[in-house]
């Protein structure tokens, strides 16, 4: 099956710093979604981004499907950004199961 | 606009027992997917229900079964519980079936502990 690797696995940032999270996938995908899982376990939608670039406030994401990766940018990080960030993909070829990445655990310190 | 709701929030069961978890989709959504998330890992896809039928299934044994009702709500049933079934069970809803063909929205989850 498709492999979805995220990097870095862990990240500690000072409040106000910027960061880039990466999601690599081993096969072509139809769709991709980014989530933030807060400390209570709730998965929060960030971006639905099969291709191209989207921005929402301090966050933006870019997916280059032909090169099999997606990036999530966090600018001016805040302590509330702490948690685990997951990308999830649906691989192409009529096999429409969803595979989540390995996750990036982010801690933003004051 | 009500989001995805799940019940119960927490549950403790004994090995060998059976459990039923419930999910109500976001208003206007007709598709429900279930995921299992073990501690420290990403969610694993169990199955997806659309039009009251199972449409896709992940690599989970037949002990895991589900149901979707005419009002689009769904149940996840797990029989003969094992210690390894302890996890956070997440429900996601979307408008339309098929993997991530439509954006998925997640509920708060049910934390299942098997002793």
State residue B56's pLDDT score.
86
Probe site for chain A from B3, B55, B99 (most A CB atoms < 10 A)? B99
Mean pLDDT of B46-74: 94
8 Å CB contact between B32 and B49:
yes
Cβ-based contacts of B99 with chain A (< 8 Å): 30-31, 90, 96-98
State residue A91's pLDDT score.
78
Residue of A nearest to B88 (CA): A41
Residue of A nearest to B103 (CA): A48
Cβ-based contacts of A35 with chain B (< 8 Å): 106
State yes or no: pLDDT of A94 exceeds 60: no
Phi, psi torsion values for A4, nearest 5 degrees = -125, 110
State yes or no: pLDDT of B39 exceeds 80: yes
8 Å CB contact between A59 and A44:
no
Work out the percent of chain B whose per-residue pLDDT is above 90: 84
B91 closest CA partner among B49, B53, B55, B60: B49
State yes or no: pLDDT of B1 exceeds 70: no
Q: What mean pLDDT, rounded, does chain B reach?
A: 94
Cβ-based contacts of B33 with chain A (< 8 Å): 98
8 Å CB contact between A4 and A99:
yes
A35 touches B at CB < 8 Å: yes
First to last CA, chain B: 37
């Amino acid at each position: 099956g498709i492999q979805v690797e995220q990097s870095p696995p862990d990240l500690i940032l000072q409040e106000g710093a910027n960061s880039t999270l990466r999601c690599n996938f081993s096969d072509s995908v139809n769709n991709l979604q980014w989530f933030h899982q807060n400390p209570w376990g709730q998965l929060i939608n960030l971006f639905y981004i099969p291709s191209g670039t989207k921005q929402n406030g301090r966050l933006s994401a870019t997916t280059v499907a032909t090169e099999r990766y997606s990036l999530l940018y966090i600018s001016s990080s805040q302590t509330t950004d702490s948690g685990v960030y997951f990308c999830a993909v649906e691989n192409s070829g009529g096999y429409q199961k969803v595979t989540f990445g390995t996750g990036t655990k982010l801690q933003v310190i004051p | 606009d009500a989001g995805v709701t799940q019940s119960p929030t927490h549950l403790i069961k004994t090995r060998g027992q059976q459990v039923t978890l419930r999910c109500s989709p976001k208003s206007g959504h007709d598709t429900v997917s279930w995921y299992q998330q073990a501690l420290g890992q990403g969610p694993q896809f169990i199955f997806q229900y659309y039009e009251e039928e199972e449409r896709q299934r992940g690599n989970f044994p037949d002990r895991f079964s589900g149901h979707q009702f005419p009002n689009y709500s769904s149940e996840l049933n797990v029989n003969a519980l094992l210690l390894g079934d302890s996890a956070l069970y997440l429900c996601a809803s979307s408008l339309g079936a098929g993997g991530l063909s439509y954006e998925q929205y997640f509920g708060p989850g049910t934390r299942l502990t098997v002793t």
